């Protein structure tokens, strides 16, 4: 199970600056809900050219929410010149670390900020479109994006590139191309390892339980309630989450479908891909 710092959990449970700004000065949109992550960031400047207000809307996992929330706090009050110096590694350090597999969430935040600033300065399209050769068809990741992630973060392995961009995380058919890009950049001397990013501390079982309960309240229970159902957490044993179904979900002939096709995917999205949800009998 992925481990998160207290600051990541705080920004996930209590995200700052969520919402919409009427008539913003700059708007940036990155990602796609079809690929699993999407982020819209917008800002309003004051008379001195500083970011007076900044809001975000995101579709994604807990790390995406926390990274977006942290970024808005980091840039509020800055000039655009100061804000554009914020890197994805700065976001990670601000949060006290992210799991390696979630580093792409910090990259998405940086990209949305850059798009918003570009939108303000040039009137360019607020949504970042794919430019250049697409290497990863599964997640729509271009060669240019992969190269930038490698250079900016000193990446030296395909696995690291996947963690930072999601490229190679689907069918895996592009991994040979990613390895070739790494090799070419290394031969040109463009890869300068920056050391390992700050890693998250190990999450206690109590913290896991609280996070799961929070996901239940915010994302799972409202969906079940629409059909008169409910769910309660019984226990957490490592990657095994034990639940009990209530209301119309109790003794329902498709209860196992509800657990495996709705509850389990939600928890895997926010926690870890090896999460298993079982019903207490």
Helix (H, G, I), strand (E, B) or coil at 51: strand
What residues are labeled active site? 35, 105
pLDDT in tens, 223-249: 888 888 899 999 988 888 999 998 888
| Per-residue pLDDT, 127 | 66
Enumerate the H helices of 95-134 as residue ranges: 103-122
Q: Are residues 246 and 220 in the same domain?
A: yes
Total length of the chain: 281
| Per-residue pLDDT, 32 | 67
Q: Are residues 31 and 113 in the same domain?
A: yes
pLDDT in tens, 3-15: 788 899 999 999 9
Contacts of 161 (CB under 8 A, 6+ apart): 146, 149, 150, 155, 167, 168, 178, 182
Structure tokens at 191: 């890869």
Enumerate the H helices of the chain as residue ranges: 6-13, 62-75, 80-83, 88-94, 103-122, 143-153, 158-165, 175-187, 205-215, 221-225, 255-258, 264-270
The CATH number assigned to the domain holding 162 equals 1.10.10.1100
Q: Are residues 42 and 114 in the same domain?
A: yes
More confident residue, 186 or 253: 186
Helix (H, G, I), strand (E, B) or coil at 261: helix
Structural domain includes residue 129: no
| Per-residue pLDDT, 248 | 87
Helix (H, G, I), strand (E, B) or coil at 280: coil
Q: Are residues 113 and 15 in the same domain?
A: yes
pLDDT in tens, 87-138: 999 999 999 998 888 889 999 999 999 999 999 998 876 665 545 688 888 7
- The whole-number average pLDDT for the span 35-50 is 89
pTM: 0.68
- The whole-number average pLDDT for the span 208-226 is 85
How many angstroms separate the CA atoms of 264 and 255, rounded?
Answer: 12
Determine the structural domain holding residue 168 and report its residue range: 134-187
Q: Are residues 110 and 213 in the same domain?
A: no
Where does a domain end: 82, 98, 122?
122
| Per-residue pLDDT, 130 | 46
Q: Are residues 73 and 41 in the same domain?
A: yes
Structural domain includes residue 237: yes
Q: Are residues 264 and 236 in the same domain?
A: yes
Is the pLDDT confidence value at 213 over 70? yes
Total tally of structural domains belonging to the chain? 3
Considering the chain, what percentage of its residues have pLDDT values greater than 70? 91
Q: Are residues 157 and 230 in the same domain?
A: no
CB 12 within 8 A of CB 99: no
Model confidence at 199, pLDDT cuts 50, 70, 90, reads: low
| Per-residue pLDDT, 118 | 92
| Per-residue pLDDT, 91 | 94
Structure tokens at 273: 């891909």
């Amino acid at each position: 199970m992925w481990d998160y710092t207290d600051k990541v959990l705080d920004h996930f449970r209590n995200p700052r600056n969520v919402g919409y700004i009427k008539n913003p000065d700059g708007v940036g949109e990155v990602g796609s809900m079809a690929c699993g992550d999407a982020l819209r960031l917008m800002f309003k400047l004051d008379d001195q050219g500083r970011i007076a207000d900044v809001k975000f809307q995101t579709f994604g996992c807990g790390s995406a929410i926390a990274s977006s929330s942290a970024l808005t706090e980091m840039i509020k009050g800055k000039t655009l010149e100061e804000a554009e110096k914020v890197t994805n590694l700065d976001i990670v350090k601000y949060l006290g670390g992210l799991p390696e597999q979630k580093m792409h969430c910090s990259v998405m935040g940086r990209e949305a900020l850059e798009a918003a600033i570009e939108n303000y300065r040039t009137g360019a399209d607020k949504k970042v479109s794919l430019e250049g050769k697409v290497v990863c068809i599964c997640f729509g990741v271009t060669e240019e994006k992969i190269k930038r992630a490698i250079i900016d973060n000193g990446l030296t392995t395909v696995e690291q590139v996947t963690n930072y961009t999601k490229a190679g995380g689907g069918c895996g058919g592009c991994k040979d191309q990613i390895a070739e890009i790494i090799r070419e950049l290394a031969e040109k001397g463009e890869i300068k390892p920056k050391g390992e990013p700050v890693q998250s501390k190990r999450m206690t079982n109590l913290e896991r339980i609280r996070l799961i309960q929070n996901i239940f309240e915010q994302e799972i229970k409202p969906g079940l309630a629409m059909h008169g159902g409910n769910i309660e957490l019984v226990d957490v044993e490592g990657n095994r989450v034990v639940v009990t179904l209530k209301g119309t979900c109790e003794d329902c002939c498709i209860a196992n479908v509800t657990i495996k096709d709705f509850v389990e995917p939600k928890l895997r999205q926010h926690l870890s891909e090896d999460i298993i949800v079982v019903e207490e009998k």
